[in-house]
């Protein structure tokens, strides 16, 4: 149950900052489909999101493994 709580809190943390990103920068990165910057904007958002999610997942797995190893050494 403890692992689900950590995962849920991590997901809420990511969701909160993703929402803040679009609140503050949405008008600068989102374009209508008819505009010339639309394709470039979508490609950059997809690539940036993919890299960011990879990095966040890497950090999450690092901490989970670290917590798991600490738990095993206490037994």
pLDDT tens-digit readout, 3-18:
678 778 878 888 898 8
Would you say residue 71 has pLDDT above 80? no
The whole-model pTM stands at 0.58
What's the per-residue H, E or C state across 27-72?
Answer: HHHCCCCCCCCHHHHHHHHHHHHHHHHHHHHHHHHHHHHHHHHHHH
Rounded to 5 degrees, φ, ψ at 34 are -80, -15
pLDDT on residue 16: 92
């Amino acid at each position: 149950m403890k692992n689900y709580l950590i995962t849920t809190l991590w997901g809420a943390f990511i969701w909160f900052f993703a929402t803040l990103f679009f609140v503050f920068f949405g008008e600068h990165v989102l374009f209508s489909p008819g505009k010339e910057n639309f394709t470039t904007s979508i490609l950059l958002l997809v690539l940036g999101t993919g890299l960011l999610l990879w990095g966040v997942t890497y950090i999450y797995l690092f901490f989970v493994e670290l917590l798991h190893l600490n738990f095993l050494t206490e037994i």
